[in-house]
């Protein structure tokens, strides 16, 4: 035992006095490490998974059985209509946790400690966002699986269903960059959450997620028709049920590109300023 301790001390001393320095980790390697860090955080706080398990199911049951008969005249018919909308709403709301997690790390001084590491500076940010895409995927699978138990039957092909989920993931990843910008600007976690809710709720509820825009007043219908969330909902709904939604898909991808092009570089600029 004593021999092993002395050997460990000798190895440590040799490492300290040696002029040779280890090769810094590759950017992909450090991103993967921080993605694993996010996974371990979730493992030790399983209640954090409530936002992708219990809450989506609760929303689906509530909207379907409370409003299905009144809006569509049939619970089953309304379920076919509302599932894509609830799916989009659920994942869009989850995106704000990207900013909240970043804000917590800033408040706890995590990035101050990270400055001393020979790694690509945004590794922790990109790694966290990579893990968030996994969370979005899990939320989609849970929602679709539970909806099928209730009676949801997509009329499109399996490729259409997978494409709908993929399009939602692309848009959600792009949208999450807004919350990283806000996380780097705002000092308070509560202020960040309140601001995120003020943006998310009007965009999701004033969309085609829950009702047909043609039933709305003219002014509101115009706003809903140009709302990017409506474009996303219509695209997801069309892909799931086999409708022709080429224009909506193009505009959703354009919106995703604009969000990424604007808020991605802005996040990196603010991130470097913080570090």
Residue 74 DSSP label: -
Residue 204 and residue 230: Cα distance in Å, rounded? 8
Residue 153 lies in a domain: yes
Does residue 43 belong to any structural domain of this protein? yes
Taking the C-alpha atoms of residue 76 and residue 69, their distance in angstroms, rounded to an integer, is: 9
Domain coverage including residue 183: 27-274
The predicted pLDDT at position 252 comes to 95
Number of domain units in the chain: 1
Separation of alpha carbons 120 and 103, rounded Å: 19
Residue 183's Cβ-count burial label (10 Å; 0-12, 13-18, 19+) is buried
Residue 116 covered by a domain: yes
Could you tell me the CA-to-CA distances from 76 to 25, 80, 147, 164, 209 in Å, in that order?
53, 7, 10, 21, 16
Q: Is residue 21 part of a domain?
A: no
Distance CA 29, CA 36 (A): 11
Give the pLDDT score at 229: 94
Residue 56's pLDDT is 80
Both tokens of residue 250? 């193009």
Instruction: Identify the residue whose tokens are 């810094």.
Output: 24
Model pLDDT, residue 269: 87
Low-confidence ranges of the chain (pLDDT < 50): 1-3
**Nearest alpha-carbon partner for 207 in 182, 237, 167:** 237
CA–CA gap between residue 90 and residue 51 (Å, rounded): 8
Is position 129 within any domain?
yes
Q: What is the pLDDT of residue 135?
A: 86
In a domain, 11, yes or no: no
How much is the mean pLDDT over the chain? 82
Whether residue 260 lies inside any domain: the answer is yes
In a domain, 8, yes or no: no
Of 147, 160, 176, 136, which Cα lies nearest the Cα of 249? Answer: 160
């Amino acid at each position: 035992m004593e021999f092993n301790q002395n050997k460990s001390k000798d190895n440590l001393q040799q490492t300290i006095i040696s002029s040779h320095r280890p090769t810094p980790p590759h950017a992909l390697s450090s991103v993967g490490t921080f993605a694993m860090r996010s996974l371990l955080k979730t493992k030790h706080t399983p209640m954090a998974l409530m936002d992708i398990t219990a809450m989506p199911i609760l929303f689906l049951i509530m909207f379907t059985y409370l409003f299905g008969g009144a809006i569509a005249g049939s619970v089953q018919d309304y379920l076919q209509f509302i599932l894509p909308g609830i799916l989009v709403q659920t994942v869009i709301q989850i995106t704000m946790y990207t900013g909240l997690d970043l804000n917590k790390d800033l408040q706890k001084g995590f990035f101050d400690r990270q400055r001393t590491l020979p790694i690509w500076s945004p590794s922790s940010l990109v790694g966290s966002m990579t893990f968030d895409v996994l969370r979005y995927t899990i939320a989609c699978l849970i929602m679709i699986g539970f909806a099928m138990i209730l009676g949801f039957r997509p009329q499109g092909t399996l490729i259409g269903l997978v494409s709908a989920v993929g399009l939602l993931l692309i848009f959600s990843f792009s949208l999450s960059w807004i919350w990283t910008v806000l996380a780097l600007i705002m000092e308070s976690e509560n202020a960040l959450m309140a601001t995120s809710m003020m943006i998310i709720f009007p965009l999701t509820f004033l969309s085609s997620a829950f009702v047909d825009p043609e039933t709305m007043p003219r002014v509101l219908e115009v706003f809903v028709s140009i709302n990017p969330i409506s474009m996303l909902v219509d695209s997801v709904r069309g892909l799931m049920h086999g409708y022709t939604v080429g224009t909506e898909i193009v505009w959703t991808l354009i919106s995703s590109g604009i969000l990424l092009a604007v808020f991605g570089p802005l996040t990196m600029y603010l991130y470097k300023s913080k570090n």
